[in-house]
Amino acid sequence: MERSMDRNEAIALLKGLVEIPSLSHEERAASAWLVEQMRAAGYDRAYVDGAGNAVGEMGPAGAETTIMLLGHIDTVPGAIPVRIEETPAGPVLYGRGSVDAKGPLATATAAVARVGAAWAAEQNVRLVVVGAVEEEAANSKGARFIRDRFDGRTEPIPNACIIGEPSGWQRVTLGYKGRVLVEIDASQPMAHTAGPNEGVATVAVDFWNWLAALAQVHNSGIDKTFDQLSPSLRRLQTFTDEQIQDHVIAQAGIRLPLGFDVTDFAQTIGAWAAARCNLDWDGAPYPAPTPEQPAVFTLAGPLTSIAVKLGAYEPAWRGDRNNALVRSFLGAVRTVDAAAKPGFVVKSGTSDMNVVGPAWQCPILAYGPGDSSLDHTPNEHVHLAEYWRAVQVLEAALRGLCSAIFLLFTGWAYAASAAGHRSTICTVPSTSDVPWRRGSADRRRWRASTRRSHAPHDSASASPRRWPCHTPPPSPHCGCSRRAAAF
């Protein structure tokens, strides 16, 4: 008989993980320690992978269903003394990473330990917990490694994915905005400040004014931050180089809404830079960035040259809210506390959801205890009561999700289908504990259908916008009736 991880052990797991510093690129000790804890907690397999990620697996390696729990083990800098303080609201753990995102990672590790190897084997489900490296380094090395490993050839594409980021124990995060960093380096020959030209620094001023106006046009009539184009000025610097050229560097970060067309944006900023350099734009396309590859181009005018760099690009991503994954969480929150009010949230930052969401196109959400407004702050802390609730919610959600998957393969789904409602997983209740039916053709169909489902589209933001953001037409793979067409 397996012994389930209890509250004290789960708290020790979190505190131990927070106590090991793990800045981006320096995660080795924390990954090794977490793998040890996973082994001790009864995981079937636990190892540090080729990227340095801590990976723990529960359930058969060749299981029909794979559920990915993708957290990150790295933190931003800032040493906060690790301690548990008693407060009127109960004990609170302080420490860097307690919220972002060792709290959610420990939650996943503990919840899967509580689900246990025997139950996972019985359900023929493989639960994969990942503490990914370098999420905070804006390159998401660990998540990209996992994305490429679970590519449908080397390893199956997960049937569902839970990102480990703070959402608060009662809520789930459905989406994250995208991001692109824009840097211009403008230069012109050094000139006397009493001379006729205005100085190269004015290019940076013009750039920012142009970008702010662009965002204003895009955002007119859009109230929700999630749907807005949100630029921020990150850096301004002037200097003179050895070739006696005056330079100004301006860097802006832009938080991107769903459907933002980065290729279109590259053309527009190219056209702006050409005009600012007094060059005629010949209409040739400017290179656009991808999540893997920045785009760089230079325009040399008679007086002013501008080098443009577009980097750190991630598209926005939002998961579908109408599926068994989301429903299992809502049900689990109510199971843990009948008075709770489960809810949804979308975030203006990015996470590893932006990396794996577009590749896997599976039901996806982010979950974890903690108040995300404490991310990266010197006051980062988590209430241990909330942490323990989140462990219980996640455990119940995983059990409910597996049961929902089972129900899909009973005659119930087909009865519903015959009655005219052609949805499949979207209408399946999540509260049965019927044992898993092994090897059925129905389950294989479900796997195939969920892989194609849930490309993001959103009716609320689907109204056509002027450049530069246009929401693509609804995906043919999103929505119950369309998904059922695979059956």
Phi, psi of 157 (to 5 degrees): -65, 130
Residue type, position 269, single letter: I
Task: Give the C-alpha separation, 201 to 197, whole Å.
Answer: 11
Give the pair of three-digit tokens for residue 366: 């982010």
Q: Which of 55-63, 165-173, 193-201, 452-460 is the region at the interface with Zn ion (rule: CB under 5 A)?
A: 165-173
Q: What is residue 425's DSSP assignment?
A: G
Residue 78 to residues 23, 315, 441, 476, Cα–Cα distance (Å)? 9, 28, 52, 45
21 neighbors 74 (Cβ within 8 angstroms): no
101 binds Zn ion (CB under 5 A): yes
Task: Give the C-alpha separation, 167 to 364, whole Å.
Answer: 14
Query: In the range 182-241, which residues lie near Zn ion by CB under 5 A?
Result: none
Cβ distance to Zn ion smaller for residue 24 or 187: 24
- Choose among 303, 308, 169, 327: nearest CA to 245: 303
Give the pair of three-digit tokens for residue 28: 């080795």
Task: Let me know if 135 is a catalytic residue.
Answer: yes
Site string for Zn ion, 135-154 (x = CB under 5 A): --------------------
339 neighbors 357 (Cβ within 8 angstroms): no
132 binds Zn ion (CB under 5 A): no
Q: Which of 97-105, 147-155, 241-249, 392-400 is the region at the interface with Zn ion (rule: CB under 5 A)?
A: 97-105
Compute the least distance from the CB of residue 121 to Zn ion, in Å: 32
Cβ distance to Zn ion smaller for residue 166 or 289: 166
Cβ distance to Zn ion smaller for residue 261 or 352: 352
- Choose among 364, 357, 366: nearest CA to 324: 364
Give the pair of three-digit tokens for residue 431: 């509260």
Site string for Zn ion, 55-94 (x = CB under 5 A): ----------------------------------------
Compute the least distance from the CB of residue 318 to Zn ion, in Å: 17
Compute the least distance from the CB of residue 142 to Zn ion, in Å: 12
Task: Let me know if 100 is a catalytic residue.
Answer: no
Among 57, 64, 74, 100, binds Zn ion (CB under 5 A): 100
Give the pair of three-digit tokens for residue 409: 């393969």
Catalytic residue selected from 27, 57, 64, 74: 74
386 binds Zn ion (CB under 5 A): no
Q: Peptide bond before 468: cis, by omega within 30 degrees of 0? A: yes
Residue with tokens 């380096």: 185
Cβ distance to Zn ion smaller for residue 140 or 450: 140
Compute the least distance from the CB of residue 72 to Zn ion, in Å: 6
Helices 411-418 and 384-408, packing angle to 10 deg: 70
Catalytic residue selected from 27, 100, 134, 135: 135
Q: What angle is formed at CA 146 by the lines to CA 54 and CA 444, rounded to 5 degrees?
A: 115
Which positions ≥6 away from 164 have C-beta within 8 Å?
A: 69, 70, 71, 72, 101, 104, 105, 107, 108, 366, 367, 368
Which neighbouring-strand residues pair with 253? 181, 232
Compute the least distance from the CB of residue 22 to Zn ion, in Å: 12
155 neighbors 145 (Cβ within 8 angstroms): no
Cβ distance to Zn ion smaller for residue 218 or 318: 318
Residues in the interface with Zn ion (CB under 5 A) total 3
- Three-state secondary structure call for residue 161: strand
Cβ distance to Zn ion smaller for residue 145 or 409: 145
Compute the least distance from the CB of residue 444 to Zn ion, in Å: 35
- Choose among 434, 441, 448, 447: nearest CA to 406: 434
Secondary structure E strands in 14-119: 45-48, 54-58, 65-72, 83-87, 90-94
Query: In the range 240-299, which residues lie near Zn ion by CB under 5 A?
Result: none
Q: Which of 83-91, 164-172, 203-211, 451-459 is the region at the interface with Zn ion (rule: CB under 5 A)?
A: 164-172
Q: Which of 158-166, 319-327, 330-338, 405-413 is the region at the interface with Zn ion (rule: CB under 5 A)?
A: 158-166
Cβ distance to Zn ion smaller for residue 165 or 320: 165
Q: Which of 99-107, 280-288, 290-298, 458-466 is the region at the interface with Zn ion (rule: CB under 5 A)?
A: 99-107
Cβ distance to Zn ion smaller for residue 97 or 257: 97
Cβ distance to Zn ion smaller for residue 101 or 407: 101
Compute the least distance from the CB of residue 100 to Zn ion, in Å: 4
Compute the least distance from the CB of residue 164 to Zn ion, in Å: 8
Catalytic sites, residue numbers: 74, 135
* Residue ranges binding Zn ion (CB under 5 A): 100-101, 165
